[in-house]
Amino acid sequence: MLKTMSTGVSRLLTGLKNGSGVRRVNLALQGGGAHGAFTWGVLDYLLEDGRLAFSGISGASAGAVNAVMLADGLARGGPEEARRRLAEFWRAASLGGGLPGPQRAALDRLFALFPSGGSPVQLFVDAMTRMMSPYDFNPLNINPLKSLIERFVDFEAIRNFRDLDLFVSATNVRSGRLKVFRREDITADVVMASAALPHVFRAVEIDGEPYWDGGFTGNPPILPLVASNADDVLLVQIAPLYRDDTPTAARDILSRMNEIAFASSLAAELRALEYVGRGAGRNGAAVNVHRILLEGMDKRLSGSRLKTDFDFFALLHRAGRRAARRFLDRHFDDVGRRSTLDLVKETAA
């Protein structure tokens, strides 16, 4: 631990000596079920490194969970507390984390059914949940996510933490439109709504309106960050927008269909940023966009959203830390100066 802390301090001092200092960014955290552990690793490394400070955070589904854990830690104790809160949450969410049987089963469905390809086991579970609604197979409306969130997050502390903008997306079931909840309005119910996959959990009612997973309409929401301040946006992306191959196997087709469905809102927001010249933030300042992407692990992750053991989460955590380190090594000097994500290429048909 002391070695880790000294490494972060050393990097920060090196940055200050080079005149680079601490640079501010907005974080946009995509949802991705169990693969949200990759985002945990990214955040863990960025917090340890210390050269980036966060002006705002947005998230959908698992990205929303990571966002509120991060915000809670920063509000209550700073970067080290945020690292601790994230680690404790993912340990508790893992198989063997101490959840009672019914809560464990429900949480496993949340992780397993987030869009992915998958094993025959997952295809069977998918088929069953399409024949039965959560109102049938979960008559007690068990939602383990709520108990975990309420255990770890002090929402009052987050609401009073004015140094950080926070946005969480959900989808209004009746209108089909995106709803973005701001820091002042975020509760455990809002986070539950953002992660409420329709085949797994009942719609979450907030102020008389039912909501489903935010990944359908804002995965993650970026434009609210751009509107709130002129700092760079760093997207932590789990599901790729582009694939080189055309799927032919049934489960690969299902996987790609789900990826497209849950990536369409991100594509639309990136296209909007590109359309206005890579974005225009507050006061007309140009918005620089960067990305850390989960990639290069397709074979190891095939069907892996069914995995909820801590060893798997730790694998993704390490991958996230490596990806964050590579991003900082290559692009720290670009933060605040230019985009490193080519929006024209990213949004090309």
Buried b (16+ CB within 10 A) or exposed e, 236-245: bbbbeeeeee
Q: What is the C-alpha to C-alpha distance for residues 290 and 84, in angstroms, rounded to an integer?
A: 26
Low-confidence winner among 9-13, 30-34, 259-263, 322-326 (lowest mean pLDDT) = 9-13
* Per-residue CA distances from 98 to 90, 148, 229 (Å): 12, 11, 41
- pLDDT at residue 301, rounded to an integer: 55
pTM for the complete prediction?
0.82
Residue 221 is predicted with a pLDDT of 95
Task: Find the range with the poorest average confidence among 123-132, 226-235, 311-320.
Answer: 123-132
At 100-114, the pLDDT tens digits run 555 555 565 556 544
Task: For residues 286 and 134, give the distance between their C-alpha atoms in angstroms, rounded to a whole number.
Answer: 45
Report the interhelical angle of 144-152 vs 79-93 (nearest 10°): 150
Residue with the larger pLDDT of the pair 169 and 198: 169
Q: Is the pLDDT of residue 119 over 50?
A: no
The position carrying tokens 């094993």 is 119
- What is the phi-psi region of residue 278: left when phi exceeds 0, alpha when psi lies from -120 to 50, beta otherwise? left
The confidence score (pLDDT) of residue 64 equals: 96
- Whether 12 and 22 have beta carbons less than 8 Å apart is answered as yes
Q: Which structure tokens are listed for 263?
A: 């990536």
Q: Which tens digits make up the pLDDT trace of 58-101?
A: 999 999 999 999 999 999 999 999 999 999 999 988 765 555 55
Tell me: the pLDDT tens digits for 164-193?
A: 999 999 999 999 999 999 999 999 999 999
